[in-house]
Amino acid sequence: MPAQIIDGKAIAETVRNQVAAETQRLIRDTGIVPHLAAVLVGNDPASEVYVRNKERACQKAGLRSTLHRLSTATTQADLLELIAALNHDMSVHGILVQLPLPKHLDSTQILDAILPTKDVDAFHPENTGLMLQGRPRFVPCTPAGVMKMLEVSKVPTAGRHAVVIGRSDIVGKPMAALLVQKGIDATVTICHSRTADIGAVCRTADILIAAVGIPEFVKGDMLKPGAVVIDVGINRVNERLVGDVDFVAACAVASAITPVPGGVGPMTIAMLLLNTLKSARMMHRLS
Ligand code: GUN
């Protein structure tokens, strides 16, 4: 039987509708409008699309969004100054600096400068630490989206072997941290470019999460029959978007799989809205 398709677009829409309803209630009861400030430096075409989609999603859900566009020539000091201003602006609840930044800028210093209570991307080490200890303030949007998909799709996790391919700070590492937390209880392996016989490791996965950034890296023969496959990859190949998984081959082996596009991508934006709403509530000490 071909794999069930986990419809990220539909799940994301449910989350966005929930955020829209709760935002409407917050505005009605308190007058507070959740506000995301996005910062885009330079004109990387993919980043332009991502930021536009985030802005559009905010507007549709009734959140306020402000885009700060800076030229490629922006200095580290200029960007730090803007972040300090956004940190102090009481009307701003979430700050997002779109990555990647131009090469001459120090991303780590920039991300560390964001006030942790406005860090809706959850990239600040304080938020990473809180999540790792199982008391999250914000959860990074892509891994949070994957967890939501597993939950909604009723994928059993306790005692299952989850294999994460990729060890990035944005996806791989937080993904592993979430899967191993109490209540989720997966047994987690992280694979990376130096992992020996990665195919053999992947074939032991009940849940395989591909976040490696290589088009169709995961082949059908790297999957255990019946595995649940989550494809985090968004790769542009000849103007076409492809994931990190060979989708057609995987469909014949997996029990469930996320498509690209229409899988994890829409979830990331939905979880960003959720984090921004949460931030607005927390700033005003509402539960
Ligand atoms: N670039 C690619 N993914 C992301 C993300 O989740 N957040 C930000 N800020 N930049 C990104």
Looking at residue 79, what is its pLDDT?
A: 98
- In terms of Cα–Cα distance, which of 132, 128, 78 is closest to 104? 78
Asked whether 96 lines ligand 1 (CB < 6 A), one says yes
**Residues 266/8, Cβ–Cβ less than 8 Å:** yes
Q: Rounded to whole angstroms, how far apart are CA atoms 97 and 271? A: 16
With left for phi above 0 and alpha for psi between -120 and 50, is residue 156 left, alpha or beta?
A: beta
278 is catalytic: no
Asked whether 99 lines ligand 1 (CB < 6 A), one says yes
Q: What is the biggest distance separating any 2 CA atoms in the chain, rounded to whole angstroms? A: 57
Task: For residue 80, give the 3-state DSSP assignment.
Answer: helix
Tracing tokens 């997002």 back to the chain, one arrives at 96
Looking at residue 1, what is its pLDDT?
A: 78
Rounded to the nearest whole angstrom, what is the distance from the C-alpha of residue 204 to the centroid of ligand 1? 30
Pairing of strands 187-191, 161-165: parallel
Rounded to the nearest whole angstrom, what is the distance from the C-alpha of residue 101 to the centroid of ligand 1? 10
133 is catalytic: no
Q: Phi, psi (5° rounding) for residue 257?
A: -155, 150
Mind listing the domains of the chain with CATH numbers?
30-116 (3.40.50.10860), 141-265 (3.40.50.720)
- Dihedral in degrees, nearest 10, Cα atoms 122, 152, 54, 46: 90
**Residues 253/259, Cβ–Cβ less than 8 Å:** no
Whole-prediction pTM value?
Answer: 0.97
Q: Which residue is catalytic, options 121, 206, 231, 246?
A: 121
Q: Rounded to whole angstroms, how far apart are CA atoms 164 and 166? A: 6
In 3-state terms the chain splits into helix, strand, coil percentages (rounded to 5) of 45, 15, 40
The two tokens of residue 287 are 């539960």
98 is catalytic: yes
Q: Rounded to whole angstroms, how far apart are CA atoms 59 and 35? A: 10
Which parts of the chain sit beneath pLDDT 70?
Answer: 287
Structure confidence by residue, pLDDT tens digits, 115-149 = 999 999 999 999 999 999 999 999 999 999 999 99
Rounded to the nearest whole angstrom, what is the distance from the C-alpha of residue 99 to the centroid of ligand 1? 5
Rounded to the nearest whole angstrom, what is the distance from the C-alpha of residue 66 to the centroid of ligand 1? 16
Asked whether 121 lines ligand 1 (CB < 6 A), one says yes
> Whose CA is closest to atom 1 on ligand 1?
99
Looking at residue 198, what is its pLDDT?
A: 98
Alpha helices (H) along the chain: 8-30, 45-61, 76-88, 107-113, 125-132, 141-152, 172-180, 198-202, 247-251, 264-283
Looking at residue 138, what is its pLDDT?
A: 98
- In terms of Cα–Cα distance, which of 138, 26, 51, 35 is closest to 92? 35
Q: What is the DSSP letter of 82?
A: H
**Atom of ligand 1 at shortest range from CA of 170:** 6
Looking at residue 59, what is its pLDDT?
A: 98
